[in-house]
């Protein structure tokens, strides 16, 4: 079945560490997105990529980095520069004909 | 079970005229409802959300939506369209305020604004 796989589901990070969240899709979608969701709020866009080897900053890109070396993969790195990284992170993709497909999310906690 | 229907795939208005984007939902329980906007080559941005606190919800950029339980509707309106409003709009119904991503997304309404 086609879909998006995010891993890990739960991640704990010590302060000052970088961590990378994985996002893989087999839907052949060109566009991929990373969102952050905090309690009681909607989705906020971190980074997005419309095509391989290209990506753009979203509304809250500071402290994050991404890469898009393959169509299927769009990993997100949460760097030590991110002041408040504890959140729920969602990866999504979008094709031309269909709506959004979301991954199951990664809950990151800084300890 | 939940579902959401955006009644118009495209809406075209003149700049300065009112905007109405229609959304009907069905839900077995009291839902949370959201409107998101996506501008060309951008990601989703939350416009507003309904969480049962008030039936008339005000969002960003002058948009508002009214929850009408009797009509199972959550239509998005704006008194006066601006060129920058041209985008695609998604209505979402979810069981959980914190999980709009697991909710049901409508198929989207593309808003065109004519000069």
Q: What is the DSSP string of A57-94?
A: E-TT-TTEEE--SBTTB--EEE-TT-S---EEEEEEEE
The pLDDT of residue A96: 65
More confident residue, B93 or A97: B93
Considering only alpha carbons, which residue of chain B is nearest residue A30?
B41
Q: For residue B113, what pLDDT is reported?
A: 97
Contact A99 B107 (CB under 8 A): yes
Task: Average the pLDDT over B44-68 and give the result.
Answer: 89
3-state helix, strand, coil in chain A (%, to 5): 0, 55, 45
pLDDT over 80 (residue B68):
yes
CB contact (8 A) between residue B41 and residue A100 = no
The tens-digit pLDDT sequence of chain A (111 residues) is 568 899 888 999 888 899 999 999 998 988 899 999 887 666 788 999 989 999 999 889 999 999 999 999 999 999 988 888 999 899 998 876 556 778 888 999 988
User: pLDDT band for position B94 (50/70/90)?
Assistant: confident
pLDDT greater than 80 at residue B24: yes
Q: How confident is the model at residue B99 (pLDDT cuts 50, 70, 90)?
A: low
For residue A44, give Cα distances in angstroms to A31, A60, A61, B5: 16, 7, 10, 24
Helix (H) or strand (E) holding B4: strand B3-6
- Put simply, whether B34 touches A (Cβ < 8 Å) is yes
User: What residues of chain A, 18 to 47, have a C-beta less than 8 Å from chain B?
Assistant: 33, 35, 37, 39-45
pLDDT the model gives residue B2: 74
Distances, alpha carbon B105 to alpha carbons A21, A90, B17, B90, in Å: 25, 15, 27, 7
Q: Please check whether residue B43 is in contact with residue B59, taking contact to mean a CB–CB distance below 8 angstroms.
A: no
Contact A36, A53 (CB under 8 A): no
Cβ distance B36 to A45 less than 8 Å, yes or no, reads no
pLDDT at B41 over 70: no
For residue A101, what is the nearest residue in chain B, using CA coordinates?
A: B101
- Give the distance, in angstroms, between the CA of residue A13 and the centroid of all CA atoms in the same chain: 16
* Chain B residues lying within 8 Å of A42, measured CB to CB: 34, 36, 46, 49, 100
Testing the interface with B: which of A35, A38, A39, A43 to mutate, by most B Cβ within 10 A?
A43
Contact B46 A42 (CB under 8 A): yes
How much is the average pLDDT of B30-50? 83
Q: Which residues touch B69 (CB under 8 Å, ≥6 apart)?
A: none
| Residue contact A43–B108, C-beta within 8 A | no
Q: What is the pLDDT of residue A42?
A: 67
- Angle (CA) A18-A19-A21 rounded to 5° is 150
Nearest residue to A4 via CA among A29, A31, A30, A23: A23
The count of C-alpha atoms lying within 13 angstroms of the C-alpha of B64, restricted to the half-sphere facing its C-beta, is 10
Structure tokens at A18: 């970088």
């Amino acid at each position: 079945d086609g879909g998006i796989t995010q891993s890990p589901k739960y991640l704990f990070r010590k302060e000052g560490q970088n961590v990378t969240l994985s996002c893989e899709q087999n839907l052949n979608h060109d566009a991929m997105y990373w969102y952050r969701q905090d309690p009681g709020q909607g989705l906020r866009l971190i980074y997005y990529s419309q095509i391989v080897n290209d990506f753009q900053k979203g509304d809250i890109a500071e402290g994050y980095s991404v890469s898009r070396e393959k169509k299927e993969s769009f990993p997100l790195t949460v760097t030590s520069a991110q002041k408040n990284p504890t959140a729920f992170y969602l990866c999504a993709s979008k094709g031309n004909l269909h709506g959004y497909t979301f991954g199951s999310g990664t809950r990151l906690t800084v300890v | 079970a939940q579902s959401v229907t955006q009644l118009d795939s495209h809406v075209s208005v003149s700049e300065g005229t009112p905007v109405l984007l229609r959304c009907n939902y069905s839900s077995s329980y009291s839902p949370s409802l959201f409107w998101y906007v996506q501008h060309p080559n951008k990601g989703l941005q939350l416009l507003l959300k309904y969480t049962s606190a008030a039936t008339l919800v005000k969002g960003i950029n002058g948009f508002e939506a009214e929850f009408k339980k009797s009509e199972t509707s959550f239509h998005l309106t704006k008194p006066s369209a601006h060129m920058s409003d041209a985008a695609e709009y998604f209505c979402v119904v979810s069981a959980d305020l914190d999980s709009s991503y697991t909710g049901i997304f409508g198929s989207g309404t593309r808003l065109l604004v004519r000069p």
